[in-house]
């Protein structure tokens, strides 16, 4: 028979056990409310260049099979004592696989830079970049174009002669296989030139576009109707103002007069253009307000009949948004990914905002955290596959005291939602 003292002792032992069990249950409950454990929300920034020289200017495309293709300017062509030389590197990653080792797709004798890569509806890759041939006092930049079937080799590059200054070519492919290229012309007046390559391989004559001097082409996109759209940044000759200009090339080959779609004198950094299945064109740019520390993104869209939407802030609830790489989702929604600095230890939060067709911008959608290594992470190029996965590519130094950049890719699902 238990004494009163032992019964009291047993009662307290049972109570303590109950409290422990209750505590554990509470922890599980709170854990389930929080969703994934914090460590599961970390996204890996994969270093896909991983070599000694400076790796920068990435461009990314994803094909219908989910293979991700990245090109960039790489400062390690193996030419000793010629550090100013660069070459174009390429790496790819099949769906569910790992990244290939970087391979040179330009020659390493001439300095090549500013690659742009697109994939067409038949999964053919199209690559354009600039190459500098030293010819003494007259040394023009050349624009090199080559293409590749998924299972084949790159074609022998075809050449367009540019001017002496940087030409930074932009490329777009339309649904019938025409390859459109626009680039800067002349180191002094910054006119824009254009040529188109027919599917039979013939190039049109070069054409000066009606954009004014000091216009820098930023985005070129074809729509399903066969029209071509160009956006450029125009800087006034006194550098006091900057605006975003838009031009369209109709199916008959005629270019429209430039339309100033920002019209504030303070618009900068237009993002690549996005066209949706209905033929709507989305333009996004950055706007420098009176504060030197705050940049907002602005959006306008143009429907096929030529009407432009009013200008709206991209995700007005977000400070410090840098909408550099808009993407089109599978429901014609516009997706704008963005990294945010600032959790603990410099970790970066990868988020995106969505603008469904005809609707307003969504709240921020959370993808995960990138740890502080690499030192910071900026999205310079992005792609979106047919399984709702985002591929965000940027160049960053691997640590705070290293000055050569590497190319990083962060991959995340667009299905995740902030808890």
- Pick between residue 74 and residue 243 the one whose CB is nearest to Ca ion: 74
User: What are the tokens at 237?
Assistant: 């000759």
CA 229/CA 249 separation, integer angstroms: 6
Listed ranges 86-94, 225-233, 307-315, 403-411: which one lies at the site for Ca ion (CB under 5 A):
403-411
Least separation in angstroms between residue 92's CB and Ca ion is 17
User: Partners of 299 in the beta sheet?
Assistant: 284, 312
- Pick between residue 51 and residue 204 the one whose CB is nearest to Ca ion: 51
Least separation in angstroms between residue 404's CB and Ca ion is 5
Residues near Ca ion (CB under 5 A), total: 4
Burial 272-304 (b: 16+ CB within 10 A, else e): bbbbbeebbbbbbbbbeeeeeeebbbbbbbbee
CA 365/CA 95 separation, integer angstroms: 23
Least separation in angstroms between residue 107's CB and Ca ion is 19
Least separation in angstroms between residue 208's CB and Ca ion is 37
CA 329/CA 318 separation, integer angstroms: 21
Q: Three-state SS for 279?
A: coil
- Pick between residue 55 and residue 116 the one whose CB is nearest to Ca ion: 55
Listed ranges 179-187, 336-344, 377-385, 401-409: which one lies at the site for Ca ion (CB under 5 A):
401-409
C-alpha count within 13 angstroms, C-beta hemisphere, residue 310: 4
CA 73/CA 58 separation, integer angstroms: 7
Q: Three-state SS for 319?
A: coil
**Does residue 256 bind Ca ion (CB under 5 A)?**
no
Listed ranges 27-35, 42-50, 107-115, 278-286: which one lies at the site for Ca ion (CB under 5 A):
42-50
- Pick between residue 45 and residue 274 the one whose CB is nearest to Ca ion: 45
- Pick between residue 160 and residue 407 the one whose CB is nearest to Ca ion: 407
**Does residue 47 bind Ca ion (CB under 5 A)?**
no
Least separation in angstroms between residue 69's CB and Ca ion is 18
CA 69/CA 389 separation, integer angstroms: 14
* 112 closest CA partner among 56, 186, 152, 192: 56
**Does residue 73 bind Ca ion (CB under 5 A)?**
no
- Pick between residue 72 and residue 194 the one whose CB is nearest to Ca ion: 72
Is the N-terminal amide bond of 21 cis, ω within 30° of 0? no
- Pick between residue 55 and residue 280 the one whose CB is nearest to Ca ion: 55
CA 330/CA 350 separation, integer angstroms: 20
Residue sitting closest to Ca ion (CB): 55
Q: Which of 43, 48, 55, 392 binds Ca ion (CB under 5 A)?
A: 55
Least separation in angstroms between residue 406's CB and Ca ion is 5
Least separation in angstroms between residue 405's CB and Ca ion is 6
Least separation in angstroms between residue 338's CB and Ca ion is 24
CA 25/CA 48 separation, integer angstroms: 43
**Does residue 364 bind Ca ion (CB under 5 A)?**
no
Which DSSP string corresponds to 136-183? TT---EEEEEEEE-TTSPPPPPEEEE--SS----EEEE-TT--EEEEE
**Does residue 49 bind Ca ion (CB under 5 A)?**
yes
Listed ranges 17-25, 52-60, 153-161, 338-346: which one lies at the site for Ca ion (CB under 5 A):
52-60
> For strand 259-260 and strand 191-197, is the pairing parallel, antiparallel, or unpaired?
unpaired
**Does residue 57 bind Ca ion (CB under 5 A)?**
no
Least separation in angstroms between residue 112's CB and Ca ion is 15
Q: Which of 47, 51, 155, 364 binds Ca ion (CB under 5 A)?
A: 51
- Pick between residue 49 and residue 73 the one whose CB is nearest to Ca ion: 49
Alpha-carbon distances, residue 254 vs 105, 174, 179 (angstroms): 34, 16, 16
- Pick between residue 223 and residue 406 the one whose CB is nearest to Ca ion: 406
Task: With beta carbons less than 8 A apart as the criterion, state whether 51 and 102 touch.
Answer: yes
Least separation in angstroms between residue 236's CB and Ca ion is 37
- Pick between residue 264 and residue 397 the one whose CB is nearest to Ca ion: 397
The 10 Å Cβ neighbour count of residue 330 is 12
Listed ranges 232-240, 245-253, 294-302, 404-412: which one lies at the site for Ca ion (CB under 5 A):
404-412
H-helix or E-strand spanning residue 34: helix 4-34
Binding site for Ca ion (CB under 5 A): 49, 51, 55, 406
């Amino acid at each position: 028979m238990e004494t009163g003292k032992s019964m009291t002792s047993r009662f307290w032992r049972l109570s303590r056990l109950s409290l422990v069990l209750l505590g554990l249950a509470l922890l599980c409950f709170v854990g389930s409310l929080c969703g994934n454990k914090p460590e599961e929300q970390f996204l890996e920034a994969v270093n896909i260049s991983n070599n000694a020289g400076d790796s920068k200017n990435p461009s990314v495309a994803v094909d219908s099979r989910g293979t991700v293709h990245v090109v960039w300017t790489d400062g390690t062509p193996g030419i000793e004592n010629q550090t100013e030389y660069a070459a174009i590197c390429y790496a790819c990653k099949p769906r569910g696989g790992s990244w290939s080792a970087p391979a040179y797709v330009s020659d390493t004798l001439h300095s090549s830079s500013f690659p742009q890569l697109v994939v067409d509806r038949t999964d053919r890759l199209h690559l354009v970049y600039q190459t500098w041939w030293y010819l003494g006092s007259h040394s023009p930049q050349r624009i090199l174009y080559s293409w590749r079937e998924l299972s084949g080799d790159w074609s022998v590059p075809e050449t367009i002669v540019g001017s002496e200054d940087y030409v930074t070519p932009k490329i777009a492919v339309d649904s019938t296989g025409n390859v459109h290229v626009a680039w800067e012309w002349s180191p002094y007046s910054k006119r824009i030139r254009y040529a188109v390559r027919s599917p039979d391989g013939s190039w049109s004559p070069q054409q000066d576009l009606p954009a004014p001097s000091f216009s820098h082409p930023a985005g070129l996109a074809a729509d399903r109707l066969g029209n071509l759209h160009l956006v450029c940044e125009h800087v006034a000759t006194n550098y006091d103002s900057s605006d975003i200009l838009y031009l369209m090339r109709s199916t008959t080959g005629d270019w429209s007069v430039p339309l100033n779609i920002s019209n504030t004198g303070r618009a900068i950094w237009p993002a690549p253009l996005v066209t949706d299945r209905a033929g709507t064109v989305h333009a996004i740019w950055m706007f420098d307000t009176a504060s030197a520390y705050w940049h907002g993104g602005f959006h306008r869209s143009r429907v096929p009949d030529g009407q432009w939407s009013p200008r709206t802030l991209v995700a007005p609830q977000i400070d410090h948004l840098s909408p550099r790489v808009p993407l089109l989702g599978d429901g014609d929604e516009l997706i704008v990914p963005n990294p945010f600095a600032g959790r603990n230890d410099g970790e970066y939060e990868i988020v995106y905002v969505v603008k469904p067709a005809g609707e307003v911008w969504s709240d921020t959608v959370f993808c995960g955290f990138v740890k502080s290594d690499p030192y910071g992470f900026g999205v310079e190029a992005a792609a979106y596959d047919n399984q709702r996965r985002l591929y965000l590519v940027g160049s960053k130094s691997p640590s705070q005291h290293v000055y050569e950049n590497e190319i990083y890719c962060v991959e995340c699902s667009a299905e995740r939602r902030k808890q």
